Amino acid sequence: MSDALLNAEAVEKELRFWNIPGLAAGVNLHGEDALLEGYGVRDRENGLPMTPDSLGCIGSCTKSFTSAVIETLADDGILDLDKPVRDYVPDFRMMDPEASEHVTLRDMLCHRTGLPAHDGMWPQEHTSRREFLHEIRYLQPVYPFRGGTEYSNVMYGAAGAIAEAVTGKTWEELVQKRILDPLDMHRTCLCPQDSMKDDNHAAGYFSEDRHSPLQRMGILDMNVDAPAGNIYSCPSEMLHWLRMHLCRGLYAGKRILSERGADEVQRGIVRNASYPWQFPEFSEIVLYGLGWRNAIFRGHTVIYHTGEVEGYCALEAFVPSMDVCIMLQVNHHKPCAPFLFSMLLTILDAVLNEEGEDVGHIDWPSRFHPFDEIFGGAHYNWKVDCMEGAAPDPDNRKPMTHPVADYTGTFSNPAYGTHSVYAENGHLVLHYWNQALMMEHCRYDTFRIEGLKEDTIYLTIPMSYHYNEKNGDIDGFFLKLEPETPPMFFRKLQMSSPSTA
């Protein structure tokens, strides 16, 4: 039935259109694998084909695993999703005092804490998850507590840290023992280094612009924020996971989640950002549960999540009323959502037609083509310009107020870590995590930074220096690392040089 669900020639055509190297696909229908196929390549340089067993990062689909772990702990009476987090971690704080007092794991897992992405804080390699949890108090919200929904990777890192605090086990140990082992997901792994050791892993790719050449990506380890997006798997194993959810927590006679727990994570709670494409067959309103989204397609509830991380995209879905599970993974991370949804809806229509519900034959890929480079809602642009309309004007550039050496040094923010500025070949350079970024002078003590990477987004942002009001010495700078909140302040610690950057 595989070619009836996805036509290989049509898939290959769409891979070329979207500049995607390969697709790994799996469909389980009525408890049987109806499709396990690979299309295109998993390694362009060596010409290795993609297969349904090729490991790739599932990105934010990891969130559904983290919420499931939390629910297993609730099933065991170890924690309660509706009790304040401070009942389990007494020193937990958020910037909003009300959130500090009342925020629960349910708030964190359905993105209603008021905190936005703040993805610039989590690449820290030498910070423990408990320290990561402590640093959340320094992050600015964008909404009042429970006043809006804002997708946040950081909150899933926090949920993982809370699970560690109440069990004494790492998030990795909890996922392995409570989810992966009982589901016979023996090749699925929890960090990129382990994935790279597997002979059948997919290399990740990225292109700087929509039609520019593909670049092979290096390893990205989310470290402390792994509970938000660090699992590597493949369709042949992910179908075990999805089948368990479709069966309300049961897999091969083993109870993984209670029926109550499965219903809890899957049920939509809050309205979530939709996509720029709207079709009469596919609901405009999307509800977010605990690591899962809910939408309606032709009257059927589709429970799904997408994932996107450096070099990879994924879409996991199941439809209880159709008794079908679908896993789609590609080794490219922008812009893959239109492609993945066109494949999902093509498969669902094929299943409905096969089951006797005549819905016709819509060319879903063609309906998604007009949304090429159209962004909005949950489908966001990978280039965000926070200085749009304020480009440096050479004819109106005012001089810096201090000698160049005064702008250099080591600067620190309690949530975003310690970084340095140094002078090199007559230019100032910001060294932010592993990035060396040229600082383009605008006016006075404001600079333009282009290409600062946060998760899969590249930011163009202002960087403005601050000076001590008493003596006029530079004592730090402001950096707009989160587009929806005021700039973060980095306090100057000491002088720096290229050798120490």
What are 411's two structure tokens?
A: 């600067």
Average pLDDT over residues 172-199: 97
Position 379 scores a pLDDT of 67
Pick the residue with more confidence: 108 or 453?
Answer: 108
* Lowest pLDDT segment from 3-7, 80-84, 295-299: 3-7
Q: What is the pLDDT of residues 93-130, one digit of tens each?
A: 999 999 999 999 999 999 999 998 888 887 666 678 99
Q: Where in the chain is the domain with CATH 2.40.128.600?
A: 384-500
Position 284 scores a pLDDT of 74
Average pLDDT over residues 461-473: 94
Query: Of 277-286, 451-460, 464-473, which has the strongest mean pLDDT?
Result: 464-473
DSSP-assigned states of every residue in 253-268: TEESS-HHHHHHHHS-
Query: Taking CA 121 as the corner, what is the angle to CA 375 and CA 198, rounded to the nearest 5 degrees?
Result: 80
Position 123 scores a pLDDT of 67
Position 501 scores a pLDDT of 37
Question: Strand runs (DSSP E) across 261-342, as ranges?
Answer: 270-272, 286-288, 293-297, 300-309, 312-319, 324-330
Q: What is the pLDDT of residues 394-426, one digit of tens each?
A: 777 789 999 999 999 999 999 999 999 999 998
Q: How many Cβ atoms from other residues are within 10 Å of residue 126's Cβ?
A: 8
Pick the residue with more confidence: 68 or 454?
Answer: 68
* Cα–Cα distance, 441 to 69 (Å, whole number): 48
Position 499 scores a pLDDT of 40
Could you tell me the CA-to-CA distances from 371 to 76, 225, 365, 379 in Å, in that order?
A: 45, 31, 10, 10
Is residue 2 scored above 70 in pLDDT?
A: no
Residues forming a β-bridge with 104: 84
- Identify the burial level of 468 via C-beta atoms within 10 angstroms of its C-beta, where 0-12 means exposed, 13-18 middle and 19 or more buried: exposed
Q: How many Cβ atoms from other residues are within 10 Å of residue 210's Cβ?
A: 12
Position 378 scores a pLDDT of 65
Position 456 scores a pLDDT of 77
Average pLDDT over residues 468-477: 94
Position 219 scores a pLDDT of 81
- Name the band, by pLDDT with cuts 50, 70 and 90, for residue 168: very high
Tell me which CATH homologous superfamily contains domain 2-60+193-381: DD-peptidase/beta-lactamase superfamily (3.40.710.10)
Pick the residue with more confidence: 209 or 326?
Answer: 326
Position 397 scores a pLDDT of 76
* Cα–Cα distance, 440 to 124 (Å, whole number): 26
Query: Taking CA 10 as the corner, what is the angle to CA 343 and CA 217, rounded to the nearest 5 degrees?
Result: 65
Q: What is the pTM of this model?
A: 0.93
Position 122 scores a pLDDT of 72
The CATH number of the domain covering residues in 384-500: 2.40.128.600
| pLDDT above 90 as % of the chain | 80
Q: What is the pLDDT of residues 349-389, one digit of tens each?
A: 999 999 999 999 999 999 999 988 877 766 667 788 888 76
Q: How far is CA 286 from the centre of its chain?
A: 18
Q: What is the pLDDT of residues 42-74, one digit of tens each?
A: 999 999 999 999 999 999 999 999 999 999 999
Position 500 scores a pLDDT of 40
* Lowest pLDDT segment from 44-48, 160-164, 221-225, 345-349: 221-225
Q: Where in the chain is the domain with CATH 3.40.710.10?
A: 2-60+193-381
- Name the band, by pLDDT with cuts 50, 70 and 90, for residue 151: very high
Position 410 scores a pLDDT of 97
Position 209 scores a pLDDT of 79
Is residue 498 scored above 70 in pLDDT?
A: no
Position 482 scores a pLDDT of 87
Using alpha carbons, select from 95, 85, 130 the residue that is nearest to residue 115. 95
